Structure 1
Amino acid sequence: MQDGTPRESGYWYPEKQPGDRFPQGELLGRVERTLQAITAPFDGVVLYQTHILGVSQGMPLLAYGKLRAEGGLSRQETERML
């Protein structure tokens, strides 16, 4: 599991919801003020994310992981976490 953390403080606008799958390079969300886009480093699934609009530098915004086929969590393990 990994998390996306902003380089700067700003406002978090998620593009995905927990349980959503994504391919590598897909936009997971963005931090505006000092614009930053957090993109997927691999194909995976969103496990959870913050719903707080204002975020600070270094604050975890979301957690995501790989699916079992890619060496990560199984569908059942993912669903238990949601």
Structure 2
Amino acid sequence: MKCLWCESEETEKAGLTGYWELPDGSRAVQITVIPSVSCSSCGMEYQEDHIVDEIEDQLMLIDTKKIDSTISYTELMSIPRFLKKNYFKL
């Protein structure tokens, strides 16, 4: 896998922590163990676009009032959705 920033092959998969603002803007949540990429060449750590899209869609389609201030990626993605997909995404 190539680093999106420096194009080095010196990358590895990692489970990192990130912070997301809820769609209603009421607060932010800490999401732990997010599938991520870590580059030892440039030091960049990031989530790939499809993971970011999955998290944002999930937050849009669940009852976020039931989420604590910290949740793991796996726990977040296992919460039942109101809708099957994000119909608001164009």
Q: Which of 1 and 2 has greater Rg? A: 2
The structure carrying a bigger helix percent of its residues is: 2
TM above 0.5: no
Higher relative contact order (CA 8 A, sep 6+): 1
TM-score range, shorter chain: 0.3 to 0.5
- State TM-score, norm by structure 2: 0.30
Report the TM-score, using the length of structure 1 for normalisation.
Answer: 0.32
